[in-house]
Structure 1
Amino acid sequence: MQYKSVTAFLDKERDSLGKGPIAIIMAEDHVEVESTLLHHLAIGFRKVLLLSNREIALSASVAAQITRIDFETYQRNAMQRAVNQMIAAAPGAWLYYGFNAEYLFHPFCESRNIRELLAFHTEERRDALLSYVIDLYADDLEKHPSAVSLENAMLDRSGYYALGRPDAANHNHPRERQLDFFGGLRWRFEEHVPPTRRKIDRIALFRAKPGLQLRPDFTFSDEEYNTYACPWHHNITTAVVSFRTAKALKSNPGSRYDIHDFKWYNSIKFQWNSQQLMDLGLMEPGQWF
């Protein structure tokens, strides 16, 4: 099914959104769009929405499994605007948002689907999950000038850290149970990344409710949604493994010619499984065993 706008989609399918969870994938370019859609279908999302320009081509077999929405992805804060429209239309539904060449992983995703994860998280009285956006990059930029290669993907095994998140309304004291996380390519090549885009944390999975708003920095208007754990114990976290930063660094004129290799002594091959991410401390199962 294809719609001309988010509004047209909501006019027709608003009543179906409560059945979630729903994955919202925004295609900023043509890179690995189909693999992204198929990954999120495979981990158990009931509905996968593709927001993209008409120029993005899909095979008939993939197009038959998803809902496509025409969207001008190059507009400022495009994802924020689209997600906020979905929030207003689908109170109570679990939503995920991400971009093409980004792949959501959750603990034990090889044997437990996303619906099982969210059922457990709901029982813990939590309405959002913290995700770490872990940069992926090709091992050889001469062979893969776009920095994207699923078969030869690398990630950093260390170099991640967190800082307290200051509360401007409270004399910049750290917010309770909130941290800003850093690392990966945005840390190693920070001279090419604006300060406001260096964080790697994202509340990528959340339950919509009336009045909730996604902000430009991928946090929410309800501060409890932005916490990494509840007051009584640790919670599950997820990981979004992403080629998005690598793509940007190799396509932007300001950084393209300054970067010849993303590999360093802490680079390791990504095994495309949840256990590796948990072993590296990039994802936590919380109380879910």
Structure 2
Amino acid sequence: MIHPDLETFLAKGKAALTKGPLAVIMAEDEVEVASTLRHHLQAGFRDVLLLAPEGLALPTDLAELIHITWHDVHAEAALTQAVTRIAEAAPGIWMYYCYNAEYLFFPFCETRSFRDLVAFHAEERREAMLTYVIDLYAGDLDRFGNAVSLDDAHLDRSGYYALARKDEAKGWAPRERQLDFFGGLRWRFEEHVPWTKRKIDRVAIFKAKKGLKLRPDFTFSEEELNTFACPWHNNLTAAVCSFRTAKALRSNPGSRFDIQNFRWHNSIPFDWHSQQLMDLGLMEPGQWF
């Protein structure tokens, strides 16, 4: 179903806002939009909402399975503001958000659905889940000039690290159970990435509630939702495997001609399987076996 704007979706798309889980996907361009939508439909979301520039073409069979809302995707904080508005209108449902050419993986996602994931997470009295944005990139930029290839996808097997997240209101003391995570292309090519955009952590899975705000750095106004674990044991985490940074570095004139190859000695092919991400320590199964 196509909605002319977000306000219309919020007014008329009540069915998608009452049960969940809902995936909100923003298409910044036309790259791998269809594969992104299909991936998340197969993951077990009850509804998928695509925020897209007006007129974006999709295969007919796919367009019939999702909600489409025309949206100014290049406005400042376009995705975070849209997610905040949707969450306000859909209290109590589980939500997830990402961009096109980004693919959610969670522990055992090959045999378990997203609904299984959030059902278990809710039993652990958690209302949000930390995700790590893991950069994907084509191994051969001569063949794939925009750095996007599902068949030639690579990722970094190491080079990830975390720093304490400081609380300005408490004299810059470390925040409890919160860390800033770094790595991937944003770390290796940091001279081309503004320092405010270098983190790879994103609270992309959460339970919607009124008054909750998603901030531009992909953290929430309610600090407990930004924690990586509860006080008593480690919790589930997930990964958003993303070509977005690679695309940006290849499309920006300031970086395109400085980068001839994204591969380095710690690059490995991406297997498109959750076990690889767990083996590399890029997501945590917690107590879910």
TM-score by length of 2: 0.99
> Offset of 1:130 from its aligned partner?
0.2
CA contact (8 A) 2:16 2:47 kept: no
| Cα distance between partner residues in 1 of 2:13 and 2:263 | 45
Helix, strand or coil: the match of 1:287? coil
CA contact (8 A) 2:147 2:247 kept: yes
> Offset of 1:187 from its aligned partner?
0.1
Who is 2:13 aligned against? 13
Who is 1:57 aligned against? 57
| Cα distance between partner residues in 2 of 1:279 and 1:56 | 38
Q: CA deviation digits over 1:200-228, x for unaligned, max 9?
A: 00000000112110001000000000000
Alignment of 1:154-173 (within 5 A): 154-173=154-173
| Cα distance between partner residues in 2 of 1:103 and 1:218 | 17
Letter in 1 for 2:80: Q
Q: CA deviation digits over 1:168-211, x for unaligned, max 9?
A: 00111110000000000000000000000000000000001121
Letter in 1 for 2:274: S
Alignment of 1:204-283 (within 5 A): 204-283=204-283
Q: Are 2:99 and 1:99 aligned?
A: yes
> Offset of 1:18 from its aligned partner?
2.0
Letter in 2 for 1:98: C
Alignment of 1:24-43 (within 5 A): 24-43=24-43
> Offset of 1:33 from its aligned partner?
0.0
> Offset of 1:131 from its aligned partner?
0.1
Who is 1:81 aligned against? 81
| Cα distance between partner residues in 1 of 2:16 and 2:43 | 20
> Offset of 1:56 from its aligned partner?
1.8
Question: Identity across aligned pairs (percent)?
Answer: 64
Helix, strand or coil: the match of 1:19? coil
Letter in 2 for 1:52: A
Helix, strand or coil: the match of 1:103? strand
Who is 2:67 aligned against? 67
Matched residues, number: 289
| Cα distance between partner residues in 2 of 1:96 and 1:18 | 15
> Offset of 1:57 from its aligned partner?
1.1
> Offset of 1:144 from its aligned partner?
0.2
| Cα distance between partner residues in 2 of 1:116 and 1:87 | 21
Which range moves more in the overlay, 132-141 or 5-14?
A: 5-14
CA contact (8 A) 2:135 2:244 kept: yes
Gaps of 5+ in 1: none
| Cα distance between partner residues in 2 of 1:177 and 1:11 | 38
> Offset of 1:15 from its aligned partner?
4.8
| Cα distance between partner residues in 2 of 1:16 and 1:35 | 21
| Cα distance between partner residues in 2 of 1:72 and 1:86 | 15
Q: CA deviation digits over 1:126-167, x for unaligned, max 9?
A: 000000000000000010000000000000000000000010
Q: CA deviation digits over 1:84-107, x for unaligned, max 9?
A: 110110000100000000000010
Which range moves more in the overlay, 49-58 or 176-185?
A: 49-58
Who is 2:133 aligned against? 133
CA contact (8 A) 2:16 2:22 kept: no
Q: CA deviation digits over 1:209-264, x for unaligned, max 9?
A: 12110001000000000000000110000000000000000001110110000000
Helix, strand or coil: the match of 2:271? coil
Give the 4+ runs in structure 1 shifted more than 4 A. none
Letter in 2 for 1:276: Q
